[in-house]
Chains A and B, each alone.
Chain A
Amino acid sequence: MNTKTTYSEQELVALLQQRSDHSFSYLYDNYSGALLGVIGAIVSDQEIARDVLQEVFVNIWRKIGSYDPTKGRLFTWMMNVARNAAIDKVRSRGYQDSLKNQAIPDNADNSSMAGSATLPQVADTGLKKVLTKLKEDHRILIDMSYFQGYTHDEISKILDIPLGTVKTRIRSALTHLRTMIK
Chain B
Amino acid sequence: MNVQDYISSGIVESYVLGLASPEEQLDFERMCGQYPEVLQARTDFELAMEQQAMQNAIAPPSALKQQIKDAVLPAEAKIIPIDTLAPVIKANWFKYAAAACAVLLAGSLYWNISQFNRNRKLQETYDGLVKDYDSNALRLAEVEDEIEMMKLNPNVKMAAMKGKEISPESYATVYWDSTSKDVYLLVNNLPKPASDKQYQLWALLDGKPIDVGMIDNDYFIDQKRLLLRMKNVSHAQGFAITLEDKGGSPTPRGDMYTLGNL
A residues within 8 Å of B by Cβ?
A: 17, 19, 21, 24-25, 28, 32-38, 40, 49-50, 53-54, 57-58, 61-62, 65, 70-73, 75-76, 79-80, 83-84, 125-127, 129-130, 145-146, 152, 170-175, 177-178, 181-182
Contacts and interface: CB of A to CB of B under 8 A. Distances in A.
A128 B55 CA distance: 13
A37 B53 contact: yes
Q: Which of under 10, 10 to 19, 20 to 34, or 35 or more describes the interface residues of B?
A: 35 or more
A73 B68 contact: no
B53 A175 contact: no
B18 interface: yes
A110 to B, nearest CB: 21
Contacts of A72: 16, 42, 46
Given A36-B57, A146-B17, A65 B83 contact: yes
A126 B8 contact: no
20 contacts: A21-B73, A28-B69, A34-B50, A34-B56, A36-B58, A36-B59, A37-B58, A58-B72, A61-B79, A65-B83, A83-B17, A83-B18, A126-B56, A127-B52, A145-B19, A146-B19, A174-B10, A178-B48, A181-B48, A181-B52
Nearest to A18: B84
Contacts of B58: 33, 36-37, 40, 49, 125
Nearest to A130: B52
Contacts of B56: 34, 37, 125-127, 129
Contacts of A75: 46, 49-50, 53
Contacts of B12: 178
Contacts of A34: 50, 53-54, 56-57
B194 interface: no
Contact of B61 (A50, A70, A172): A50
Contacts of B43: 73
Contact of B60 (A36, A79, A80, A130): A36
